[in-house]
Structure 1
């Protein structure tokens, strides 16, 4: 698994959100290594994006990493679930990309151990909170560079068909709820269940 070079992350946020589809998200822990192909992403382009944590250039302890260079990890907890994002955009432009879903590839047995109540493999990682639990990504991964272990993104495969559409779960964000800033691999069984109803 060859890590992506820092230069890879120096794209516009929308370009990077699409380029991440098919890449491999990898986490090394004491229990072992887990990895999955990224199959769904969402772009958040603050400060003009009402759905972004950095809307209006909101700079807090939580959003601080987004004001730095791209290619770093932005984690936060929502409803007890840790979510993982890739910092994007230029320095001082607080933007990020949520990893919404991955297709399990390495360490699947360990993923099952971490999510013992799951019955179908499709449900292991088909959502942003599910994939972090399965891969062992935690809030303390905040600020890690994504081009080196223990949490990194590696080269992957080229998906045949990438779809574009509105983001999910941001109904109270005004016009931002309709921005077509979500990307997913068409027909992949591990895309979040919300998307499958429209695919």
Structure 2
């Protein structure tokens, strides 16, 4: 079945910092079904967050594990900020920071279900396949046009890139081990909306 753009059924409001759980894993689960919005001069891009991975304090797979560096300092700002890094020589990764200020931790956004600006996202991604527009963290960043310029931006403020409320009812949320890790690989720190076709990874990790 061909997937098509599903516009919001509810008005999307800004999430307040007070709305966000402080604990990393609670935040990773909370963000499922919420909205990521990027207001460009040419129009709005938005998508439902349908897959996340949590990287709490002390996680050996987390970017803050060895302490603060010039490349990860935004992870220590407290909850609700954007942390962007470049990896694999080709892809940006978008994270929402968590915990109290001074504690390095965050939630990786792994997949979006496109809501608004789908045709623009398709041009950025050079694909017409709806399912593949933002399925996976690198594709997500490319589709939403997020790069290092947005590292450290407040996602709860009135800026171009922000977190919004759920656009419609949220389905059952499942959890699994995280994808593509060698450290802390067996921990269940990945969350997803069950049955959503935009979730990335093998089907065996996205059914419960």
TM-score, normalisation: structure 1 = 0.92
Shift of residue 135, structure 1, vs aligned partner: 1.1
**Which whole-Å CA distance do the structure 1 matches of 2:161 and 2:23 have between them?**
22
Long gaps (5+) in structure 1:
none
1:29–1:136: 8 Å Cα contact kept in structure 2?
no
Alignment match, 1:26:
37
- Please report the RMSD computed on the Cα atoms of aligned residues, expressed in angstroms: 1.2
Shift of residue 10, structure 1, vs aligned partner: 3.9
2:122–2:128: 8 Å Cα contact kept in structure 1?
no
Alignment match, 2:53:
42
Moved over 6 A (4+): none
The 10-residue stretch of structure 1 (10-19 or 178-187) with the greater mean CA deviation from structure 2: 10-19
Q: Does 1:4 align with 2:11?
A: no
Q: Which structure has greater helix proportion?
A: 1
1:25–1:153: 8 Å Cα contact kept in structure 2?
yes
Q: Secondary structure at the match of 1:130?
A: helix
**Which whole-Å CA distance do the structure 2 matches of 1:134 and 1:187 have between them?**
22
**Which whole-Å CA distance do the structure 2 matches of 1:146 and 1:158 have between them?**
22
Shift of residue 53, structure 1, vs aligned partner: 0.9
Q: Secondary structure at the match of 2:170?
A: coil
Q: Does 1:163 align with 2:177?
A: no
Q: Does 1:191 align with 2:199?
A: yes
**Which whole-Å CA distance do the structure 1 matches of 2:91 and 2:41 have between them?**
21
Shift of residue 65, structure 1, vs aligned partner: 1.2
Q: Does 1:110 align with 2:120?
A: yes
Long gaps (5+) in structure 2:
1-11
- 2:68 aligned to 29, 45, 59, which one? 59
